[in-house]
Each structure stands twice: as C-alpha cells, then as structure tokens.
Amino acid sequence: MKTQLLTLLRSVDTPTVCNAIEVAQGKRGFSAFTRGTMLASDPKGVMVGYAVTAQIAALAPPTEDATTIRTRRMAYYKAMAEAPKPSVAVIEDLDYPQCVGAYWGEVNTTIHKGFGMSGALTNGVMRDLGDLAPNFPVVAGSIGPSHGFVHVRSVNQPIRIMGMDVRPGDLIHADRHGAVVIPPDVIAHLQAAILKMQETEKLVLEPARGNGFDFAAFEAAWAAFEKARV
C-alpha cells in the first residue's frame, strides 16, 4: 500500500471508507462490513492494516494438553509479530454471542503494539479500559472483567467477525463504527474515490452550514450533489 493512501485512510472514518468503496465500484451494495453495535476503546482511534487472524475460546477450559496449547500460543504471537505491516489483529471468539473471556487488556494490547501492529478487532471481550496500550485501538463486541479460560484455538485461517468474513491478509479499516474489508480491486482507486466523495458532499454540507439555508437553497444544493454523483 502506498504511504499516501495509508495516511489518508488513517485520517478518515470507516463510514467514509465504506461509501468510498461504492464510489470506486460505481454501484451500491458493498456488504463486507460488520453488523451490530461494536464498542471502541478509543472513540478517535482508527486502525488500518492487513488482517492477521486467529480464533479463541474462553467459556470452557481447553481439552488439549498444555504443551499443545503453549505451542499454538507461541505460533500465534510469532504470526502477529512477523506479519507484514501495517497489520491488524483480527480475532474471532468462538463463544460468541456468549463471550466471557477478555483477551484484549493491558497485557495483550501492550504486546501487540510492541509488535508494531495498528490495533485489534474482535467479536469478543476487552477489559482494562484505563490501562490499555495508548494509540492501539481495540474494537470489540463487549466489555467484561474476566479472562475466563481464554486460549487460542487456531491461527491464520478465514474467520467471521460480527457478520463480516475476514481472510488472512485482507485489508481492514476499523473505528468506533465497526469495520470493513477493503476489496483488493478497489485499492488502486480508493484514494481518488475518497477525495471525490469528500468534494461531492461539500456541495450539500457547505450551504447547509451557512446562513439563510432554506428549502430553495437545499433544492439547488441537492441538484448539484446528484449531478456530481452521476
């Protein structure tokens, strides 16, 4: 990904990216986004990066032996540490919607930030809200106090987060609104699409924020807006 595009993506919210994908595709109907309300550790936090995926569970103790569990845990951390940057940890909690184990807290956010990752996205639980690593946003399905029996079940496989399918290496954009998977075929056109959309929206937003805005002014602004969107 070009540095200029990465900088732009980090400066805009996820709804902007979602709309811009449709601009780049030339049609509505883009559907690779999360469903339902998610919770953000940082209301201003934005994460952009290539997905490093894993699955966890916490409701019940692991049934495998301790050596197998530890070996998989180390494989997990190795995958997170060595993934191409920018990267995002995308973790499916297999207990959803009965998630109880807060995988994301002070320790794991600090470790993953130390690896140079951009943030974490999960349908599971986060905790330690006052002590999470700074500038490492977490977007999660819930908040809770316990880690339960949390353990890694698998690493680097297709997963599903709040209705959104994610494969290892997918380009993710996420913030307090949720997340999207950016299709590979729009990446080359995404910067132009975002800039075009921002300019087009100004045709309505600037008159609406000005003095003397009434229905006649709205009608003229909306006509210009519709024409620019064609």
Query: How does pLDDT run across 188-199, given as a tens digit for each residue?
Result: 999 999 999 999
In angstroms, what is the C-alpha Rg of the chain? 20
Q: Which helix (H) or strand (E) holds 214?
A: none
With cut-offs at 50, 70 and 90, classify the pLDDT of residue 65. very high
Whether residue 192 lies inside any domain: the answer is no
Whether residue 171 lies inside any domain: the answer is yes
* Mean pLDDT score, 11-36: 96
Q: How many domains does the chain have?
A: 1
Closest of 158, 87, 159, 84 to residue 119, by C-alpha:
87
CA-CA distance, 195 to 184, in Å (whole number)? 19
Whether residue 208 lies inside any domain: the answer is no
* Mean pLDDT score, 34-46: 97
Are 100 and 59 in contact, with CB atoms under 8 Å apart?
A: yes
Mutual orientation of helices 187-209 and 3-11 as an angle, nearest 10°? 40
At CA 195, angle to CA 190 and CA 198, rounded to 5?
125
Whether residue 212 lies inside any domain: the answer is no
Q: What is the pLDDT of residues 90-109, one digit of tens each?
A: 999 999 999 999 999 999 99
Q: What is the pLDDT of residues 206-221, one digit of tens each?
A: 999 999 999 999 999 9
User: Can you give the pLDDT at residue 230?
Assistant: 55
Buried b (16+ CB within 10 A) or exposed e, 161-173: bbebebebebbbb
What residues contact residue 112 under an 8 Å CB cut-off, 6+ apart?
Answer: 80, 89, 120, 133, 136
Whether residue 58 lies inside any domain: the answer is yes
With cut-offs at 50, 70 and 90, classify the pLDDT of residue 181. very high
Residues of the domain holding 157: 33-181
Whether residue 80 lies inside any domain: the answer is yes
* pTM for this model (two decimals): 0.95
**Is the link from the previous residue into 43 a cis peptide, with omega within 30 of 0?**
no
Helices (H) and strands (E) in the chain, counts: 6, 13
With cut-offs at 50, 70 and 90, classify the pLDDT of residue 1. confident
With cut-offs at 50, 70 and 90, classify the pLDDT of residue 228. confident
Residue 116 pLDDT exceeds 80:
yes
* DSSP-derived secondary structure letter, 58: -
CA-CA distance, 224 to 42, in Å (whole number)? 36
**Amino acid letter at 217?**
A
Whether residue 219 lies inside any domain: the answer is no
User: Can you give the pLDDT at residue 229?
Assistant: 77
* Mean pLDDT score, 81-98: 98
Mutual orientation of helices 187-209 and 215-229 as an angle, nearest 10°? 170
CA-CA distance, 57 to 37, in Å (whole number)? 21
CATH of the domain at 143: 3.50.30.40
CA-CA distance, 220 to 29, in Å (whole number)? 28
* Mean pLDDT score, 60-88: 97
* SS3 call for 223: helix
Whether residue 107 lies inside any domain: the answer is yes
CA-CA distance, 50 to 78, in Å (whole number)? 16
